[in-house]
Amino acid sequence: MTFFSKLRFDEVKLLATIKDIADLAGVSKTTVSRVLNFDPNLAVSDETRKRIFEAAEELEYTRHKRSKIIEKKKIAIIQWRSERDELDDVYFLSLRMCAEKALLEKGYEVVRFFIQDDIRLDDTIIGIISIGFCSLEKRGELATLTENIVFLGTGSSIEYYDSVELNFEQAVSSVIEFFYEAGHRSIGFIGTLDKEENIGRDVRGTAFEKYMRQKEIYNSKYEFLGEWDGWNVESGYEMMSHAIKELKDELPTAFFVSNDPLAVGALRALQEAGVSVPERVSLMGFNDSSIAKHVYPTLSSVRIHTELMGETAVELLLERIQREREVGKKVIIATDLSLRGSTGNFTGTNQ
């Protein structure tokens, strides 16, 4: 089996069309297209954007019937982002929706909290799923509320507690291997600082340097980092614009970008500068969110199985509750690559 046989190629077939999303969200196809492309000139409310992104995420997955709600069996989902932040990085929106769907299918009622909310639990809430980065102080506070906690998609190491995380090392190494086999030797990185300390790179950036050094092609001048909270289109646009201006003819032939919104911004900067994608620069995002399929060229991205992550978090939580398990368990979920227009054609077998 070749390296490429492990990859997922989705150049033409989309799981959800613009019309499907428009019908479910109750808006026009034009509005859907402009929202999913993060059109900066579009005047549309956050509520409309929310409906569109939720519709796009919902249509990604097979729908299931909900079970009958179990009385006095509630699970709290704490999203350590605001609802507006979810729209800037739909990965966390997808994680929340998938966890909620898995709970509803098992008959549990969901009580939802966002970062700005006053988190208070009554005796009908029997467990918590915490989504996203959660500080050590916040973890301690949650532990005083209940022993039944699962941390989902924190992006950092969680000791003693149940958690569901990505295999970042495997994800980044597969990106570097793909670019290397495609003939790229100058590969750039666009990402953010680590949230825990707000210094240095996050885990993706650290893994990027590690695997680039293994290939003996690492060059620090090809790395561009934004603030830890800059996981959005605007930050990606600014960093790629800076790279284009600074590197000029030395601009790398490929870029690995830490998430899809950053990659969309980077793609926009390349297009405005007249840099062709993928002919001059190949681009790989991270998350494979719904927006990756609706930009032009379509965005290659690391595929994160958010539905499996949400289901696994629910399974861990219910196992802890039902078996009264006290030892923490950590589940690592693998990723794969969804190859589309931003990395061009390649030779290889996909199965």
- Domain-wise residue ranges, the chain: 17-58, 168-303+338-343
pLDDT mean across residues, the chain: 85
Q: What is the mean pLDDT of residues 72-84?
A: 88
pLDDT, greater one: 347 or 74: 74
Residue that wins the pLDDT comparison between 44 and 205:
205
pLDDT of residue 66: 46
Interstrand relation of 187-192 and 254-257 (parallel, antiparallel or unpaired)? parallel
Which stretch of 4-18, 31-45, 221-235, 332-346 has the lowest confidence by average pLDDT?
4-18
pLDDT level of residue 350 (50, 70, 90 thresholds): very low
The lowest-confidence range among 31-40, 135-144, 260-269, 274-283 is 31-40
Mean pLDDT of 184-205: 81
Percent pLDDT > 90 in the chain is 54
pLDDT at 49 over 90: no
Report the pLDDT value the prediction gives residue 25, as an integer from 0 to 100. Answer: 81
**CATH topology classification for 168-303+338-343:** Rossmann fold (3.40.50)
Q: What is the mean pLDDT of residues 221-231?
A: 85
Q: Give, rounded to a whole angstrom, the gap between the first and last alpha carbons of the chain.
A: 10
> pLDDT tier at 67 (50, 70, 90 boundaries)?
very low
- Residue 140, pLDDT > 80, answer yes
Q: What is the pLDDT of residues 270-311, one digit of tens each?
A: 999 999 999 999 999 999 988 898 899 999 999 999 999 999
Of the listed ranges 190-194, 242-246, 293-297, the least confidently predicted one is: 190-194
Tens-place pLDDT, residues 6-39: 444 443 344 468 888 888 888 887 887 777 777 7
Domain 17-58 is classified in which CATH homologous superfamily? Answer: lambda repressor-like DNA-binding domains (1.10.260.40)
Q: How confident is the model at residue 351 (pLDDT cuts 50, 70, 90)?
A: very low
Residue-level pLDDT at 59: 73
For the stretch 170-186, pLDDT in tens is 999 999 999 999 999 99
**Mean pLDDT computed over 161-168:** 93
pLDDT for 333 equals 95
Lowest mean pLDDT among 61-65, 70-74, 327-331: 61-65
pLDDT band at 266 (very low <50, low <70, confident <90, very high): very high
